[in-house]
Amino acid sequence: MLGGSNMPTEIADAALAEAVVAESAAMEDLLRQLVAAPTTLGNEEPGQELMREAFREAGLDPRDVPLDVEALRASPFSSPFSWDVSGKANVVADLPVAGEGGRSLVLHGHVDVVGPASERLWRTPPFEAVREGDWIYGRGAGDMKAGLVAIVGVARALRSLGLAPLAPVQLQSVVEEECTGNGALQCVLSSSFQPDAAVITEPFPGAITTSQIGVLWFHIDIAGTPVHVGEAGAGVNAIEAAFPIVAALHRLEAELNEAPPAPYDEITHPINLNIGVISGGDWPSTVAAECSFSCRIALYPGMTVADMKARVETTIARASAADSYLAKHPPVVRYDGFACEGITIPDDAPLVRTLSTAHERLTGAAAPTMATTATTDARAFVQHGIPAVCLGPHAEAIHGVNERVLWPSVIQTTQVLAFFIRDWCGLAQGLAQ
């Protein structure tokens, strides 16, 4: 017998896989509801209410984990934030436990999404789940509401079989993954539960993330000298004054990509700079008085946020010193949002081996490990001594237009999770069906 189950392995695998398939309609309905909730920053609560109800329908008792401003700002792992987080809460639920002897687990996902960029570019309404064949379109369908659906789906499947784990398993739906990661951090800070592992169902199909970069958001404010455009030579355009700063930051980006450390030496251009938001000026015939732009840059595991801040600030200072105007009117650099370091766990960690084997038992192929050029909530667990990885459905165009998720991959992810819970935690009959 495997993992403490009282069912033969081959029967248990088939039963688990079939139980997940039986939940497919309910899972798709939940995904449709979640996509229809536009859970952008500051508007996560409608999605969290859906998750509370989904946990209840799975036979669980959800509870809130509110964001605590003081606790977050006191943590060395928090990201800075200037917006109001009062009233925001994560939603968690615990599976009933049928015995003891297994290893504990967190299954984790985030309910927040980025904005739809330009709605006119979408072929379907971004906040409406539209199914075409095996694909379901919609903002957040892949990143990562399908992952939340998989977490709920596995709970429903186990309940339908009357099975419960032999160790605590907590399901988490968190906020603020897309801007700070403080939602996941709050779950760790607020709980005495120290799980043996965490799996985040981000859209990494068929591969297990064992390394991820860090991310720094920074914002640059430039003041110009406004005049009537007819006398433009007497003024300084703050928007145009930003150009040499942007060019210098791209040179920093190139330097960071010159000699990537392993495992990023196998990735083309692992460190990416993005000028994500820019605003400036107030009138077409007035030389722009102000310009602000917001940037994201990545950092390798082992590099500190302080190190990256120093490189960013030095780069801006040197570019400013070379400009006659900026030398006398230096830009102001602010930090708000992501300020987090990268993480790595061993490729041969027990969590990785067990999850890969569960994937192989379902698909016939072991899941390889990978490094990702994105950051995820896995770091909140790893930074507190809890091994954590990502494995999830197949999605395309996340953060872009026409985001979509491959529905069969959602079912497959849920089946892998069921197998993994059986192998990692153990399963036994313990619930009324």
Q: What secondary structure letter does DSSP report for 236?
A: B
Position 177 pLDDT exceeds 50: yes
Q: How many CB atoms lie within 10 A of CB 367?
A: 22
Q: How do residues 219-237 score in pLDDT, each as one tens digit?
A: 999 999 999 999 999 999 9
Q: In the chain, what percentage of residues exceed pLDDT 70? A: 97
Residues of each domain in the chain carrying CATH 3.40.630.10? 9-212+342-429
What type of residue sits at position 373?
Answer: T
Please tell us whether the domain made up of 9-212+342-429 is placed in CATH 3.40.630.10. Answer: yes
Position 431 pLDDT exceeds 90: no
CA count, 13 A, side-chain hemisphere, 8: 2
Position 3 pLDDT exceeds 80: no
Q: Compute the average pLDDT of residues 17-22.
A: 98
Q: How do residues 36-77 score in pLDDT, each as one tens digit?
A: 999 999 999 999 999 999 999 999 999 999 999 999 999 999
Position 2 pLDDT exceeds 80: no
Handedness of CA 96, 24, 356, 110 (dihedral sign): negative
Position 10 pLDDT exceeds 60: no
Residues of each domain in the chain carrying CATH 3.30.70.360? 214-338
pLDDT for the residue 6? 45
pLDDT for the residue 432? 54
Rounded distance, CA 381 to CA 388, Å?
A: 6
- The structure tokens listed for 29 are 């309905």
Q: In the chain, what percentage of residues exceed pLDDT 90? A: 96
- State the chain's mean pLDDT as an integer: 96
Phi, psi of 28 (to 5 degrees): -65, -40
Q: What DSSP element (H or E) covers 290?
A: strand 290-299
Q: How do residues 106-148 score in pLDDT, each as one tens digit?
A: 999 999 999 999 999 999 999 999 999 999 999 999 999 999 9
The band of 8, judged by pLDDT with boundaries at 50, 70 and 90, is: very low
pLDDT for the residue 159? 97
Q: Which is nearest to 281 in space by CA: 208, 223, 333, 351?
A: 223
Rounded distance, CA 249 to CA 244, Å?
A: 9
The band of 430, judged by pLDDT with boundaries at 50, 70 and 90, is: confident
Q: Compute the average pLDDT of residues 16-32.
A: 98
Q: Compute the average pLDDT of residues 159-171.
A: 97
Q: Which residues, 6+ apart, have CB-to-CB distance to 19 below 8 Å?
A: 157, 158, 160, 161, 418
pLDDT for the residue 433? 52
Position 7 pLDDT exceeds 80: no
- The structure tokens listed for 181 are 């990661």
Alpha carbon dihedral 416, 421, 423, 424, in 10-degree steps, equals 130
| Class (C level, CATH) for 214-338 | alpha beta
